[in-house]
């Protein structure tokens, strides 16, 4: 099962755009803290989060840089080639 729950802070502002088919999508970077056993800080993992349609509009309207948010969803991996190099990212 591909399911994840994360709590973190927005690392920037929410970007809202409309796809060529007319659907709205919001994207933002989420900084999720990493901790060692015992609570020692190890920095953060930065993930790109996408919200679609009604959730996209809501995210763009109410969320801002630094806000603490909880995100539930699924992870997706994108792969592409750019300048002869294979690239990938997890959304």
Q: Give the pLDDT band of residue 90 (cuts 50, 70, 90).
A: confident
Q: What is the pLDDT of residues 18-74, one digit of tens each?
A: 999 999 999 999 999 987 777 777 789 999 999 999 999 999 999 999 999 999 999
Distance CA 65, CA 77 (A): 25
User: Alpha-carbon distance 12 to 28, whole Å?
Assistant: 7
What is the per-residue pLDDT for 37?
Answer: 72
Complete DSSP assignment for the chain = ---EEEEEEESS--EEEE-TTS-EEEEEEEEEEEE-TTS-EEEEEEEEEEEEHHHHHHHHHH--TT-EEEEEE---EEEEEETTEEEEEE-
- Whether the full predicted model's pTM is greater than 0.95, yes or no, is no
Rounded average pLDDT over 64-90: 91
Does residue 5 carry a pLDDT above 80? yes
């Amino acid at each position: 099962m591909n399911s994840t729950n994360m709590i973190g802070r927005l690392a920037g502002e929410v970007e809202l755009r409309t796809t060529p088919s007319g659907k709205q999508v919001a994207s933002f970077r989420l900084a999720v803290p990493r901790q060692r056993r015992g609570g020692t800080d190890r920095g953060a993992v930065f993930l790109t989060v996408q919200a679609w349609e009604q959730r996209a509009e809501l995210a763009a309207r109410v969320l801002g840089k630094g806000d603490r948010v909880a995100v539930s969803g699924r992870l997706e991996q994108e792969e592409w080639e750019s300048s002869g190099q294979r690239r990938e990212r997890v959304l």
